[in-house]
Amino acid sequence: MQRYLWILPALLIALAGCVDGAEQAWEKIENPKLLTGPVVGGDQIQVSYRDGKTSNFKLAQVSAFSAEPRNASLRTAQAKAAGLSGVPDRELLRLGVEANAKTQEWLKQPFSIWTRWEKIGSGGSPVYLAYVVTEAGELSELLMANGLGYLDPNIPQIPHPDGRSADKIRFGLELLRAQASEQLLGVHALKPPPNAQVRGQLRAGDTKEILERIGESTTIEGRVGRVGATANGDITFINFENNERSGFVAIVRKEGLAAVKKVWPEFPQDARGREVIVRGTIEEYRGAPQILIRDADQIQPVR
């Protein structure tokens, strides 16, 4: 009997590990008080709640440019993630300051925070991922709708406390980004500088080379392998032959689709198997390069 006693401690340790690794339940912090601390940006806040407890929270899914003047290197990295490489730092700082001011304004009214106490980053005071709900709407959605935030591929994707999946939330944020882009709000009004590097044409299968040009205006040619769309038809996806899941894709939103059909009436039904040229600024979504097609002159059938 004694020779099996070692199993009990091992079993208890294993069970403890399972508890530690279990997914935390959502917790709602109602009516916290916004604190004025070090300037970070519109996507991160410090609050006090419940008899003076203090915590830092970072928005899930969405980031805003740093509003701290000395953080130029951080803004450079943020610009690359947002597909805005080459934009002057003064413009990025201006957007960061504006996002921070709008967040302060929205949070003057009562708001609540939903969190599972998942830490992000390292060093200093812990920062937790959260959804922040204001009287005007969710903070992440407000920033995206005003062109003051961007979808950050470096943030862990988490679901919403109301049960929506991370993908469904991101899809909604994508739509808000498209609307802000159509209205040229915030980041969407920024133009690459006149000396921005525009390099030669690439093939759609050159994934590595395309990823090296995130934020650049580029021309890409390839043969369409598959065309798909969301259930409501708001987004059309153009995938290219011989590309893996992480390969280049062209995205045509509902507004862009109407523009393209004016000069290519058979699109997208006629696209499969056609050689096409796509022009635009390369963005990155979950590690995959993409170009968002807004105008008819951004896509052209070759043969």
0.85 exceeded by pTM: no
Give the per-residue pLDDT at 12: 39
Tell me how far apart the alpha carbons of residues 63 and 150 are, in angstroms, rounded to a whole number: 6
pLDDT beyond 80 at 297? no
| Mean pLDDT computed over 82-106 | 90
DSSP 130: E
The fraction of the chain above a pLDDT of 90, given in percent, is 42
Indicate whether 14 pLDDT > 60. no
| Residue in the block written with tokens 């609307």 | 179
Rounded CA gap, 150 and 157, in Å?
14
**pLDDT tens sequence across 236-293:** 999 998 887 778 999 998 888 888 888 888 888 889 999 888 888 899 888 889 999 9
How many residues are present in the chain?
Answer: 303
Q: Give the C-alpha separation, 157 to 176, whole Å.
A: 18
> Which domains can be identified in the chain, with CATH numbers?
25-189 (2.40.50.90), 202-301 (2.40.50.140)
**Using an 8 Å Cβ cutoff, are 215 and 77 in contact?**
no
Task: Give the confidence band of 39 by pLDDT, cuts at 50, 70, 90.
Answer: low
Please say whether the beta carbons of 64 and 81 come within 8 A: no
Closest CA to 23 of 153, 117, 164: 117
As a whole number, mean pLDDT of residues 187-210 equals 70
Q: Which amino acid is at 150?
A: Y
Check whether 83 has a pLDDT greater than 80.
no
Please determine, for residue 18, whether its predicted confidence score (pLDDT) is greater than 50: no
DSSP 270: T
Residues 203, 108: Cα–Cα separation, whole Å: 50
pLDDT tens for 42-76 read: 999 999 998 889 999 999 999 999 999 999 999 99
For the residues 104-109, what does the mean pLDDT come to?
94
